[in-house]
Chains A and B, each alone.
Chain A
Amino acid sequence: MGIGTYILVSLVKIALALLILLTAVAYTTLLERKVVGHIQNRWGPSRVGPFGIWQPLADGLKFIFKEDITPPFANKPLYMLAPIIALTTALTSIAVIPVGPWIKLGSLNTPLQIADVNIGLLIILGVTSVGVYGVALAGWSSNSKYSMLGGLRASAQMVSYEIALGLSLIGVLIYAGSFSLRDIVDSQAGTWLGFIPKWNLFRGQFVAFFIYIMAAYAETNRIPFDLPEAETELVAGYHTEYSSMKFAMFFMAEYANMVTVACLASILFLGGWSGPVFGPPIVQSLLPVFWFALRVFAFMFIYIWVRGTLPRFRYDQLMAFGWKFLLPLAIANIVVTSLVVALK
């Protein structure tokens, strides 16, 4: 493949990935409002189009036309920079996530992924750790008590849970022997007895899976760990002073991070895009993507289900849970997994 074709293919893939991700983000908000509505015995949005399916577009238009207020006491450059950092880092991680196997289009053979790098997992961890600045700076630069407390809580929480999150992945890495997300999916191919898939979830990484899910909920500031924006105490936490598109950028960043977490959970623990493949060639090349999307959808649904079910932690409980329970458990999981692999 020549350099020109490579750049062209990459640009097309980037445009497609962004389009799909942003649509997913928009419709996750609708799904959330619908599902939480039904959990609370209400209808949720139902006025804009049938079942409210145009609601995300209406919301987007509303955000664009709202007045964009910058508080006079804010640190202006950082106040502008914070939502940009949050959204950029949230959208960057999708670049290394594979959504399916290699496909053939005529003479073109290309992976369903923007960049297949051998340190894919580390890149996602790195980008996530830089994303903390968006939240921390938003809280600090707004120059308001509530924002400040929200920003402090968010950065402390994200830094603490990053450790448990990172350690929970090591068991998977021991089995796969690679940081490449594509290799990790390939390492989970095959079945036992013809029907139990060899997913990491069933290969002894059961504990790691739950550590990952809990730490990821804390990383994305979702209920039951949404202390940074606890509305009963902090108005809206770090984005209290933000309005219009700047607020929308934080909102989109949160949901894009949720999508990334769901993609990563599917790849690391549920075998990525593995599943029955049949039918004519075009269906065969698209079915894996469908299986992958199904897993991601299931994770997004669980996110919303948890939000509709659980109350919020207290802040000291949150920190104690992360440091005194999840972290030792993650380390124990590494020891046990290494022993199992070494003695096999």
Chain B
Amino acid sequence: MLPLILFFIFAALCVGGAINLLVQKHPINSALSLIVVMGSLALIYLLLGAEFVAAVQVIVYAGAVMVLFVFVIMLLNAGVEERTEHASRVAMVLGVPGLIIGLSLAVWVVSHLAGLDRIAIGGPMVMNGSDVFGNPQAIGHLLFRNFLLPFEVTSVLILIAIMGAVVLARREE
């Protein structure tokens, strides 16, 4: 019961933060709303029993990535955004309900296909028999045993991206 109540609190916080992100006119307020979204997502992961993913979500997204966003906004001293004048009437009326229906359908189909609807709020969860997933040991086993090749390939990809960023930043005219 308690996990369910907490889930609704954090889910509401998450959706509220996301809406606030779109509504706010100043970029720094939008960035801060995005941090609230990231934080409440982390708490939902925690409720699902995925404590490692929750901690990484806070450290990487709420901590590192969003600090860089805020940093850039501060450096550029970005002002209040300007709205375009002629917005489409149809998009304004039907946009949000249409998006909600489309996304819910997609989530429903994907979760049925992947068998994710067996996951319930209030972990720790059991998947494929008895091994608990979500704690650091289980994730380590998955990453370094079952998915070692994709993991290493991804790290090479990220390395290439870092080097590309350095090359682009240092390109002299």
Contacts and interface: CB of A to CB of B under 8 A. Distances in A.
Given A118-B51, A119-B51, A140-B28, A130 B63 contact: yes
Interface stretch (B69-77, B91-99, B149-157, B162-170): B69-77
Interface string A99-130: 00000000000000000011100110111011
Contacts of A129: 58-59, 62-64, 67
Contact of B71 (A117, A119, A156): A156
Interface in B26-71: 28, 32, 35, 39, 51-52, 55-56, 58-59, 62-64, 67-68, 70-71
Interface in A128-165: 129-130, 132-133, 136-137, 139-140, 148, 151-152, 155-156, 159, 162
A78 B67 contact: no
Majority SS at the chain B contact face: helix
B136 A125 contact: no
Nearest to B42: A126
A136 B67 contact: yes
B111 interface: no
Given A129-B62, A133-B70, A162-B63, 11 more contacts: A118-B136, A122-B55, A122-B59, A125-B59, A132-B63, A133-B67, A136-B67, A137-B32, A140-B74, A148-B74, A178-B136
B74 A126 contact: no
A159 B64 CA distance: 7
A118 B63 contact: no
B75 A117 contact: no
Nearest to A3: B2
A74 to B, nearest CB: 13
Nearest to A173: B136
Interface size band for A = 20 to 34
Contacts of B52: 119, 122
A159 B51 contact: no
Given A118-B136, A126-B59, A126-B63, A78 B71 contact: no
Interface in A66-103: 75, 78
A119 B70 CA distance: 27
Contacts of B71: 136, 152, 155-156, 159
Interface size band for B = 20 to 34
Contacts of A118: 51, 135-136
A136 B63 contact: no
Nearest to A156: B71
Contacts of B75: 152
A179 interface: yes
A98 B167 CA distance: 46
Contact of B51 (A117, A136, A139, A162): A117
A152 B74 CA distance: 8
A156 B70 CA distance: 11
Contact of B58 (A117, A126, A148): A126
A123 B136 contact: no
Contacts of B58: 126-127, 129-130
Contacts of A152: 71, 74-75
B67 to A, nearest CB: 5
Contacts of A140: 28, 70, 74
A130 B62 contact: yes
8 contacts: A78-B28, A118-B135, A119-B135, A125-B55, A148-B74, A152-B75, A155-B74, A162-B64
Nearest to A180: B136
| Residue among A133, A139, A148, A151 with the highest chain B CB neighbour number at 10 A | A133
A130 B42 CA distance: 13
Contacts of A75: 28
Nearest to B60: A129
Contacts of A151: 74
Nearest to A177: B137
Nearest to A139: B74
Contacts of A117: 51
Contacts of B55: 119, 122-123, 125-126
Contacts of B70: 133, 136-137, 140, 155
Contacts of A78: 28, 32
A119 B71 CA distance: 28
Given A122-B55, A126-B63, A155-B67, A133 B35 contact: yes
